Structure 1
Amino acid sequence: MREPLLSARNVVRHFPVRRGLLQRVVGQVRAVDGVSFDILPGETLGVVGESGCGKSTLGRVLAGLLRASSGELWFEGKSVDAQTGAELKRLRRDMQFIFQDPTSSLDPRMTVRDIIAEGLDAQGIATGRTREKLVHHILDKVGMQQDTAQRYPHEFSGGQRQRIGIARALVLRPKLVVADEPVSALDVSVQSQVLNLLVELKRELRLTYVFVAHNLAVVSYISDRIAVMYLGRIVEIGEAATLYRSPRHPYTKALLSAMPQPLPGNRPERIVLRGDVPSPIDPPSGCRFRTRCPIAREICAKREPSLERASETAEHFVACHFA
C-alpha cells in the first residue's frame, strides 16, 4: 500500500469567544473537533457539509494557514508542527491554497505578474528572465495569454481571476493543493470550465487535491473519495462511487436526497431535516446530529459514535450507532 502524502490525526481547531470589557474567554467555537484521515498521492479528497460545519477551517489548517489547536499533521512522513525555519519554508512550497473569492484574494494594486511571482520571490526560487518565463509558463497552463501578466485583477472576469489564483498556487509546483470552494463564486457556465481545468492540471502536474465544497454535484465530479462533515466532525468517509451508491449516515442520505438528478424519475425520496444546526459553541451531547436525526434513540444522547468501517469490501467508514 502506498504511503499517504498527508495524514491528519485528531486535528482540533477551536476559536475563543471573548466578552466583556476585559475580553475574557467565555467559550470556544469548535470549528474542527477531532478529525482524522489520510490522503494518498495523486488523490482528490472532497470535503462536503453545510455552511458552518468546519470544512473551510479544516482546509486552512491542512494548508498551514491556520495552526491546529491540538492533534497532529504529517506530510510525507514528517510532522508539520516539528518543522521550523528553513524546513517550514520549504514545506510551505509543497502545500498551496486556492481561495473561494477570486476578487478579494488578489491584491488590486499588484499586476498579475507580481501576484503570481509572489511565491517565487518569497521562496527565492527565480529572478529576472527565469522568473518571467515561469510566470508566462503557468499562465499558459491555466489558459491565459502571456500579455495578461502586465495587467491588473480588475481588468478580468470572475472566471479569469480564478484562473490567476490557480496559477499563483501552482507556479511553485506544489504536491498538495487545498481548494476552498473554488467555483462557488463563479457563474454556472464558468464553473465547468474551471473544474475541467483543475482535473486536467491534476493529471498533467501530478497534483493531490483537498477539494472543499457544499455542492455535491461538483464534489462527485472531481473527487476520488469524499468526507462528509457535520459540526466539526467527519460523519462518513469513503470512495465517491460507494458513498453515492450506498450512503450509510442519515446526514449523508439527507444531503444526497436534495441533490438535483439529471434524469427525471430517478430522484430519491426527499429527506427533510427538522430543526436548525446547533451552535458549535455548545454542540449536543453524544452524537452531534441526534437533534435532527430521524432515527435517533436514547443511546445517541449518551455516547458519541466513533468512525468505524461500514463495509468489509471497501474503504468506507461511518460514525453512527445504527448505520
Structure 2
Amino acid sequence: MPTSSHRRSRPERRTGRVPVVTVVAVAAVALVVSLVVAFLPDSGGGGARAVEPVAGAQVSGSPTATRTAVSPSPKPKPSPASPSATATPSATPTGAAGASGASGSSSRSSAAAPAARTASGSAPSAGRIRPGTAYQGVATSYDIGDGNGACSYGPTSDVMTAAMNTADYETSKACGAYVLVRAGSGASITVRITNECPAPCEPGQLDLSRQAFAKLAALSAGRIPVTWSLLSPSTSDTVSIRYKTGSTQYWCGIQAIGHRNPLARLEVRTSAGWTSLARTDYNYFLSEQGAGCGGTIRLTDIYGEQLTVEGIAVRANVVQSTRVQFARH
C-alpha cells in the first residue's frame, strides 16, 4: 500500500506542475506590476527619485540631480579648461551671477587704477586735453614775470608754470591743469597751466617758464621735443572762489582757483534750477543778468565729480576758501 500510494502520488505531482508554473507566472507578473508601481512618479520611494534624473524627467527640478546628470565624470570638480566647466557656471544662476560679478568687479577695479580710469574714458567732460593720453609737441620758454597770465589767477611765487597753445587752451579749459612734461633726455617736470601761448605757438606746444625749461634742458636749446600728459596730483590745497572786480548781485563773474582737476562747468542755483554760466577766455564764468550771483555754486570737473558750495558772498576780487577739493584720479 505504501508503494501503491507512492506511485499514485507521482502522477498527482506531475499533474500538479501545471498549477506551479501558473503560480510562478502569476508571481512574475505580480513582481513586474509591483516594480512598475514602485517606479511610478507618485511613489515616495527614494529609488524613484534616483532614477528620474537618468530618464530626464525632473533634471531641472533637483539641484543635486542636475549636478549628477550634467557631470557624468566621477570627478567632483570639472577641469576649468574643459568646455563643461565653462558651460556649467553659465547654466546655473550662481555661475551666471559670478560671471557678472566678476565683470563688474573687474570694471570697478579698473576704475580705481589711475591709468585704467583715464584710459577707459572716465573723463566724460574733458575737452581737447584728455587724461590717459600722451601728447607729442615742443617746449619753449618765456619770462613769466610776476606769474600772472591769461587764466587771471594773479601774481604768484610758483615758477613751475606754463602757457598752453591756443588750440589746447580751448577758451581757458586748460587753466589750472597740471601737466607732466618729459624731454627726450628722460628729465621730467610738473607744471600748472596759468597762461595762453598764442600764435605762432602750435597745437601740442608748451611755453614753459624759464625755471621749468631749465630743468629739462639748457635755456640755450631754445626749443626741444617733449611728451606731455594730464595729471591729477596730490595736493593739500582746497578750491577757492573769487568774484570778479565789479561783481554785484546784478552782474558777476565767478572764478574757481586751486582745483586739482581741470574744471568742466560752473553752475549757479536760480529759481529755475541749476544754470550753467558761460566761460570766458580769461577764465571767469559770467552771469550777465545777475542770476545766481551770491547764491549756491556747483563745480564739475572733467571726471564728472561735483562740488556744491554755499555761503560765498559777492565780494569782488576776494579769494574765499571752500574747504573742499576734487578727488584724485
Task: Report the TM-score, using the length of structure 2 for normalisation.
Answer: 0.20
Larger RCO, structures 1/2 (Cα 8 Å, 6+ apart)? 1
